[in-house]
Structure 1
Amino acid sequence: MLSSSGSDSDSDFSLIEDEPMGPGPMVEVDWSEDEGVNPSPALATAGSLAAPSPDSTPDASLTAQLDPTVAARLAQLDAELQANPYLYPQHVERITLLDEHHCTAALETACAAMHRVSGLPEDVWRRWLAVRTATCATAGDVDPVISLYTAAVDDYLSIPLWLAFLDFVRDALAAGTLDLARARTVCTAAERATVGHYSAGHLVFSAVRDLEQAHLESLTDLEAVRAQVVHLDALYLARLARPSAHLSDLFTDYSTFVSNYRPADYATALPEANRIYSRAMEQGRKREAFEAQLVATGDHLSVYHKYVYALRRHPAGTHPGEVRTLYERALAVHFLNPSLWQVCLDHELAADPPATDDAATLCDRAVRNCPWSGALWATYLRLDSLGHPAAPAPTDILARGLAYFKVAPQPDEVVVLLLADLAERRWRHRDTTDRGAAVLHVAFDEAQAHLRTICSAPVPDPYFRLERYQAEVAWRVLDDVAAARAIWQAIIDCHPTTAVVWLEYVDFCLRHESTDTTRRVLSGLVRRTLDWPEQIFARYLDFEQKYGTPREVQLAHAHVDQMRVTLEIRAERTAAEQAEQLVTEEGRQERRRQKDRDNKKKRRERARHSENAPEPATKRKLSPESGVGSAADEALSESEAHELPRPVPLTKRTRVMSPVRPETERTTPPNDRKADDLTTSGTNGDDSATRTVLVGNLSPAVREPDLRAWLADVGSVRNVHLVRDLTGTLKGYAYVEFCTPAMAARAAPSRDGKTLADRTVTVRPLAARGPDPRTVYVCNFPAGTTEAALRELFEPAGPIRQVRLPAAGRGKARRFAYVEFDDATAACRAVTTLDGQPWPGTTLALSVAISDTRRAKATPPAVVPKLRDPRVLVVGNLTPAVTPDQIREMFSSFGTLVDVRFPGGDNSRGFAFVEYSEAAAATRAIATLDGIPLDDQTLSVAIADPTAEPSGGRPPPAAHPAATAANPARTATVRLTNFARPLVLAEVRSLCAEYGDVTRVHVNKEGSKVFVTYATIAEADRAVAGLHDRWVKGRPLKLQHVVPQASEEADATRSSAPLSSLTAPRALRRPTRKLDTSGLRTTPQPTVSSLAPIPSAQPQGKSNDDFRRLFLSTDPKK
Structure 2
Amino acid sequence: MGVENSDDEEDDSSEDEKENEAEIQRLEEQLSINAFDYNCHVDLIKLLKQEGELVRLRKARQKMSELFPLTEEIWLDWLKDEIRLTEEEPNREKVYELFEKAIKDYICPDIWLEYAQYSIGGMGSPGGIDKVRSIFERAVTAVGLHMTKGQTVWEAYREFENAILSTAQLERIHTLFRRQLAVPLMDMEATYAEYEEWSEQGVSEGVIHQYRKALKQLEKCKPYEESLMAAEPPKLAEYQSYLDFELKEGDPARVQITFERTMAENCLVPDMWAKYNTYLDRQLKVRDMVLSTHERAVRNCPWTMGLWKSYLLALERHGADHHTVSDVFEKALNAGFIQATDYVEIWQAYLDYLRRRVDFKSSKELEELRGAFARSLDYMKQDVEERFGESGDPSCLIMQIWARIEALHCKNIQKARELWDSIMTKGNAKFANMWLEYYNLERSYGDPVHCRKALHRAVQCTSDYPEHVCEVLLTFERVEGSLEDWDLAVQKTETRLNRVNEQRAKVGSTYQHCTGQHGSPRGGQKVSEKDPEGNSGWREEETPKRQNDDKPELRNDNCSVFISNLTYTLEEPEAKLRTLFEICGPIKQIRPVFSNKGGFKGYGYVQFESSVSVPEALKLDRREVEGRPMFVSPCVDKNKNPDFKVFKYNTSLEKQKIFISGLPFSCTKEQLEELCKSHGNIKEVRLVTYRSGKPKGLAYVDFGDEAHASQAVLKMDGMEVEGNKISVAISNPPRRNVMDKPGSSRPGADLMPRQVFGSRGRGRTQLSLLPRSLHRQSEPAGKVENGTAAAQNPATTSTAGETKPLSNSDFAKMLLKK
TM-score when scaled to structure 1?
Answer: 0.44
Q: CA–CA distance in 1 between the matches of 2:372 and 2:409?
A: 14
Which of 246, 269, 272 in structure 1 is aligned with 2:187?
Answer: 246
Which consecutive unaligned segments of at least 5 residues does structure 1 have?
1-62, 217-223, 599-670, 684-691, 713-719, 737-747, 760-800, 803-821, 824-1118
Amino acid at match of 1:79: E
Task: State the Cα distance separating 1:250 from its structure 2 match.
Answer: 3.0
Which of 343, 347, 362 in structure 2 is aligned with 1:414?
Answer: 343
Contact 2:123 2:129 in 1 (8 A): no
CA offsets 1:756-777 (integer angstroms, 9 cap, x no match) = 6899xxxxxxxxxxxxxxxxxx
Which of 694, 713, 726 in structure 1 is aligned with 2:611?
Answer: 726
Task: State the Cα distance separating 1:113 from its structure 2 match.
Answer: 0.9
Contact 1:244 1:284 in 2 (8 A): yes
Amino acid at match of 1:208: Y
Distance 1:448-1:126 versus aligned 2 partners, 3 A rule: same
Which residue of structure 1 lines up, in the alignment, with residue 300 of structure 2? Answer: 369
Amino acid at match of 1:395: S
Q: CA–CA distance in 2 between the matches of 1:537 and 1:724?
A: 61
Q: CA–CA distance in 2 between the matches of 1:525 and 1:307?
A: 57
Which residue of structure 2 lines up, in the alignment, with residue 255 of structure 1? Answer: 196
Contact 2:123 2:131 in 1 (8 A): no
Say whether residues 1:206 and 2:135 are aligned partners: no
Distance 1:195-1:545 versus aligned 2 partners, 3 A rule: farther
Counterparts of 1:85-164 in structure 2, within 5 Å, are 85-164=35-114
Counterparts of 1:40-59 in structure 2, within 5 Å, are none
Q: CA–CA distance in 2 between the matches of 1:402 and 1:735?
A: 43
Say whether residues 1:270 and 2:204 are aligned partners: yes
Which residue of structure 2 lines up, in the alignment, with residue 81 of structure 1? Answer: 31
Task: State the Cα distance separating 1:192 from its structure 2 match.
Answer: 0.5
Amino acid at match of 1:402: L
CA offsets 1:294-352 (integer angstroms, 9 cap, x no match) = 5566565465455445544454xx2x522222221221122122333233233333456
CA offsets 1:668-704 (integer angstroms, 9 cap, x no match) = xxx999899xxx9699xxxxxxxx8999xxxx99659
Which of 506, 512, 519 in structure 1 is aligned with 2:445?
Answer: 512
Task: State the Cα distance separating 1:518 from its structure 2 match.
Answer: 4.7
Which residue of structure 2 lines up, in the alignment, with residue 30 of structure 1? Answer: none
Amino acid at match of 2:422: A
Which residue of structure 1 lines up, in the alignment, with residue 316 of structure 2? Answer: 385
Task: State the Cα distance separating 1:282 from its structure 2 match.
Answer: 3.1
CA offsets 1:808-854 (integer angstroms, 9 cap, x no match) = xxxxxxxxxxxxxx99xxxxxxxxxxxxxxxxxxxxxxxxxxxxxxx
Say whether residues 1:446 and 2:375 are aligned partners: yes
Contact 1:345 1:363 in 2 (8 A): yes
Which residue of structure 1 lines up, in the alignment, with residue 687 of structure 2? Answer: none
Which of 150, 173, 189 in structure 2 is aligned with 1:232?
Answer: 173
Amino acid at match of 1:364: E
Q: CA–CA distance in 2 between the matches of 1:565 and 1:484?
A: 34
Amino acid at match of 2:406: A
CA offsets 1:975-1011 (integer angstroms, 9 cap, x no match) = xxxxxxxxxxxxxxxxxxxxxxxxxxxxxxxxxxxxx
Distance 1:114-1:588 versus aligned 2 partners, 3 A rule: closer
Q: CA–CA distance in 2 between the matches of 1:389 and 1:257?
A: 50
Contact 1:142 1:177 in 2 (8 A): no
Counterparts of 1:1076-1091 in structure 2, within 5 Å, are none
Task: State the Cα distance separating 1:233 from its structure 2 match.
Answer: 1.6
Amino acid at match of 2:169: Q
The root-mean-square deviation of aligned C-alpha atoms, in Å, is: 5.3
Distance 1:239-1:734 versus aligned 2 partners, 3 A rule: closer
CA offsets 1:48-96 (integer angstroms, 9 cap, x no match) = xxxxxxxxxxxxxxx9987454444433433333333222222222222
Say whether residues 1:215 and 2:164 are aligned partners: yes
Q: Which has the higher helix share?
A: 2
Counterparts of 1:1032-1111 in structure 2, within 5 Å, are none
Which residue of structure 2 lines up, in the alignment, with residue 1016 of structure 1? Answer: none
Counterparts of 1:759-774 in structure 2, within 5 Å, are none
Distance 1:390-1:157 versus aligned 2 partners, 3 A rule: farther
CA offsets 1:948-979 (integer angstroms, 9 cap, x no match) = xxxxxxxxxxxxxxxxxxxxxxxxxxxxxxxx
Which residue of structure 2 lines up, in the alignment, with residue 862 of structure 1? Answer: none
Q: Secondary structure at the match of 1:479?
A: coil
Which consecutive unaligned segments of at least 5 residues does structure 2 have?
1-12, 525-542, 555-570, 634-682, 685-702, 705-818
CA offsets 1:477-522 (integer angstroms, 9 cap, x no match) = 3222111121122112212345654453343233234467557756
Q: CA–CA distance in 2 between the matches of 1:479 and 1:198?
A: 60
Distance 1:124-1:674 versus aligned 2 partners, 3 A rule: closer
Q: CA–CA distance in 2 between the matches of 1:566 and 1:305?
A: 60
Q: CA–CA distance in 2 between the matches of 1:701 and 1:514?
A: 70
Q: CA–CA distance in 1 between the matches of 2:619 and 2:194?
A: 74
Q: CA–CA distance in 2 between the matches of 1:414 and 1:206?
A: 50
Amino acid at match of 1:590: R
Contact 1:240 1:250 in 2 (8 A): yes
Distance 1:724-1:434 versus aligned 2 partners, 3 A rule: farther
Q: Secondary structure at the match of 1:393?
A: helix
Q: CA–CA distance in 2 between the matches of 1:673 and 1:417?
A: 55
Task: State the Cα distance separating 1:392 from its structure 2 match.
Answer: 6.4
CA offsets 1:564-595 (integer angstroms, 9 cap, x no match) = 98899689668746864797757975336549
Which residue of structure 2 lines up, in the alignment, with residue 493 of structure 1? Answer: 425
Which residue of structure 2 lines up, in the alignment, with residue 643 of structure 1? Answer: none
Q: CA–CA distance in 1 between the matches of 2:246 and 2:371?
A: 47
Task: State the Cα distance separating 1:240 from its structure 2 match.
Answer: 2.4
Q: Which has the higher contact order (CA 8 A, sep 6+)?
A: 2
Task: State the Cα distance separating 1:206 from its structure 2 match.
Answer: 2.5
Q: CA–CA distance in 1 between the matches of 2:429 and 2:223?
A: 56
Distance 1:83-1:156 versus aligned 2 partners, 3 A rule: same
Say whether residues 1:591 and 2:540 are aligned partners: no
Distance 1:160-1:392 versus aligned 2 partners, 3 A rule: farther
Q: Secondary structure at the match of 1:455?
A: helix
Counterparts of 1:681-692 in structure 2, within 5 Å, are none
Contact 2:351 2:372 in 1 (8 A): yes
Q: CA–CA distance in 1 between the matches of 2:136 and 2:191?
A: 18
Distance 1:330-1:497 versus aligned 2 partners, 3 A rule: farther
Counterparts of 1:283-322 in structure 2, within 5 Å, are 283-292=217-226, 294=228, 300-301=235-236, 304=239, 307-315=242-250, 318=251, 320-322=252-254
Which residue of structure 2 lines up, in the alignment, with residue 394 of structure 1? Answer: 325
Which of 458, 473, 477 in structure 1 is aligned with 2:409?
Answer: 477
Contact 1:526 1:533 in 2 (8 A): yes
Amino acid at match of 1:413: D
Task: State the Cα distance separating 1:193 from its structure 2 match.
Answer: 0.6
**Paired positions, count:** 572
Q: Secondary structure at the match of 2:57?
A: helix
Task: State the Cα distance separating 1:109 from its structure 2 match.
Answer: 0.9
Which residue of structure 2 lines up, in the alignment, with residue 196 of structure 1? Answer: 145
Say whether residues 1:348 and 2:222 are aligned partners: no
Q: CA–CA distance in 2 between the matches of 1:351 and 1:186?
A: 26
Task: State the Cα distance separating 1:133 from its structure 2 match.
Answer: 1.7
TM-score when scaled to structure 2?
Answer: 0.58
